[in-house]
Amino acid sequence: MKQIQDCHLYTFIDGAYLNGRQPEDVARALVDGGSDIIQLRMKNASAEEMIHVAERVHPITQAAGVPLVINDHIDAALAVGSEYIHLGQEDFFDGGYHTVQDVFQGKTVSNGYPHVGLSSHAPAQALRAVEAGAVYLGVGPVFATRTKPQAVPVTLEYVRWASENIRIPWFAIGSVNLSNLEQVMEAGARRVCAVSDILNAPDIAGRCREYKKILSHFE
């Protein structure tokens, strides 16, 4: 299984961007294109629905050695044995958690707990997330994004700050696309999340390969 420090292209199976496709078909295309890590995000799904989809997707990512991240749903992550879970600031700190170990308090699994990644939108949040034990951070939204229209862009200044101050793996996120990817990388990012630009592409695997080609120039 690929380790987080070796992951550079972080992609998504997002319920808002399936466009009539089956999640497992999207998973195969992302894997074929060279995605290093894949998040399953279905904002309006119940835990049961997340489990149902994850059970179809996880065997595909496992076979490819690509870690699967479950967004928000802790019980679903534990149920399917995903390698990672991702939580936002409001889900983690506002949810009463202080360290990543708190997330799994009172929960027992037989095959190990998933690693925890956290979002961050400002330097203070990033430092707090690192102290809490996050294994990776999301840094953004770098640009205004329709995925989270209420979020204020952190701009490339936060990317530059993260490149100088954060020593765990972190991923720039927020309307990152092929037209601004090099700009984001030149600001100091070495890992990025891409959502709509990949999922809305006619050829998902081909779009991933375009990202990988650019990312490889900065590794």
Sign of CA dihedral 173, 179, 183, 185: positive
How far CA 205 is from CA of 62, 138, 191, 198, in Å, comes to: 18, 23, 18, 8
73 secondary structure, DSSP code: -
Q: Report the candidate in 2, 77, 88 with the shortest Cα–Cα distance to residue 37.
A: 2
CA distance 114 to 118: 13
pLDDT tens for each residue of 67-104: 999 999 999 999 999 999 999 998 999 989 999 999 99
Record the pTM: 0.96
Q: Where are the domains of the chain?
A: 4-216
Compute the average pLDDT of residues 22-49.
96
In the chain the first and final C-alpha atoms are separated, in Å, by 20
Tokens of 70: 């479950």
Q: Can you name the CATH fold of 4-216?
A: TIM Barrel (3.20.20)
